[in-house]
Amino acid sequence: MDLRFTPEEIAFRDEVRAFFRDNVPAKTREKLIAGRPLDKDDIVTWQRILNKRGWAVPNWPVEWGGQNWSPVQRYIFDEEMQLAPAPQPLPFGVSMVGPVIIAFGNEQQKKRFLPRIANLDDWWCQGFSEPGAGSDLASLKTRAERKGDRYIVNGQKTWTTLAQYADWIFCLCRTDPAAKKQEGISFLLIDMKTPGITVRPIVTIDGGREVNEVFFDDVEVPVENLVGEENKGWTYAKFLLGNERTGIARVGLSKQRLRRVKALAREVGLMDDPRFREKVAAVEVELKALEMTQLRVVAAERHRKDKKPDPFSSILKIKGSEIQQATTELALEVAGPYAMPYVPPQEGRNEPPIGPEWAAPLAPTYFNWRKVSIYGGSNEIQRNIIAKAILGL
């Protein structure tokens, strides 16, 4: 199998690389390099820059703004975006609900929602998980009862990422409690401004506010906001979750993080320590192997006729998340004791963190990135998929 890029693919890579170099706003790039969180405005601004260039939704069909790129071109685009670094487009619209509306929604829903997703005029969040229904998602209990031309929704979602900014939420709701659990679920689009919705933050171990609980109390949803057929939501959810896993290896992001770790380690003299160099080299070797595996999956995709998610994407998810976490561990080691600055609160004093400024975001980033082995299907669930679909156990 030839894993080298063709001259056309190299030309495409150069074009994409130059675009990212010249168009990512400087303050956004600086935040990404330093590991500081982006705010809503950074994300919306970047999405609109991409949309203007026609690259906001490259994986969609051309008629809805897509690019008809080959799997290799898509790979190059994602890798260059992560290397730049540029913000990853918010997945909830572009990679989740957008493709579901394209595949299963009606014309009216496509016209109403797709252009607004591409331009991030509507911020979407994902209402799947519930207390007691995460890995076992089909056990979800949020109820949608049909009353005339409305559904009345009651229940609770949890871990809802960035729901505090959301205009819309796509939700899996139980419409037939008597049916087998996978068969009584529907896929609803709900306006977050509807009376009866409450969003409560969950503050995470890094001190951030990224996830939320969302409560529904007699929320009225017009039936026109049902996607596809009633009680067929599980089929659409499986389609969506298959899309969520692809691209999760984030090879470019880990390369960019390692670059940063090495630069900082040089600055503090840690690169002179052979033991630290060994640790960096071990992660780099794993990353190279992951890159080769990803290229093999991408190359094989060229020849695949079916569009089903490749079970090998589970391997990419596990290895990719482990490497992403390893890069945050190396960064902590570079900062040493300054990775966890402790500033005792004292009245009338507002002291900067102890140690260099670059060290301050490292511990929060380390804690925050524990999430990548949980969401998108936990790594244990990915191992189950590999056992069944690849090893045939």
Ligand X SMILES: Cc1cc2nc3c(=O)[nH]c(=O)nc-3n(C[C@H](O)[C@H](O)[C@H](O)COP(=O)(O)OP(=O)(O)OC[C@H]3O[C@@H](n4cnc5c(N)ncnc54)[C@H](O)[C@@H]3O)c2cc1C
Which helix (H) or strand (E) segment holds residue 245: the answer is helix 233-245
Both tokens assigned to 39: 């705010």
SS3 (DSSP) at 107: helix
SS3 (DSSP) at 94: helix
Question: C-alpha dihedral over 343, 346, 351, 355, to 10 degrees?
Answer: -20
- C-beta closer to ligand X: residue 219 or 359: 219
Residue with tokens 């390099």: 33
SS3 (DSSP) at 143: strand
- C-beta closer to ligand X: residue 76 or 162: 162
Angle at alpha carbon of residue 151, lines to 146 and 156, rounded to 5°: 115
- C-beta closer to ligand X: residue 53 or 388: 388
CB of 314 to ligand X, least distance (A): 13
- C-beta closer to ligand X: residue 169 or 290: 169
DSSP state of 239: H
CB of 23 to ligand X, least distance (A): 28
Cβ partners under 8 Å of residue 269, min gap 6: none
Q: Do residues 190 and 225 make contact, with C-beta atoms less than 8 angstroms apart?
A: yes
- C-beta closer to ligand X: residue 161 or 231: 161
DSSP state of 378: -
Q: Which long-range contacts (CB under 8 A, 24 or more apart) does 307-314 make?
A: 308/242, 309/242, 309/243, 309/245, 309/246, 311/385, 311/386, 311/389, 311/390, 312/390, 313/245, 313/246, 313/248, 314/245, 314/377, 314/382, 314/383, 314/385, 314/386, 314/389, 314/390
CB of 124 to ligand X, least distance (A): 10
Binding site for ligand X (CB under 6 A): 125-129, 134-135, 159-161, 211, 371, 374-375, 378, 380-381, 384
- Residue (of 338, 346, 344) closest to 363 by Cα position: 338
Residue with tokens 């040089």: 266
- C-beta closer to ligand X: residue 311 or 341: 311
CB of 239 to ligand X, least distance (A): 15
- C-beta closer to ligand X: residue 64 or 375: 375
- C-beta closer to ligand X: residue 202 or 263: 202
CB of 130 to ligand X, least distance (A): 8
Q: Examine residue 356 and say whether the peptide bond preceding it is cis (omega within 30 degrees of 0).
A: no
CB of 319 to ligand X, least distance (A): 16
* Cα gap 270→285, rounded to integer Å: 20
CB of 132 to ligand X, least distance (A): 7
CB of 133 to ligand X, least distance (A): 7
Catalytic residues: 244
Name the closest residue to ligand X (Cβ): 134
SS3 (DSSP) at 275: helix
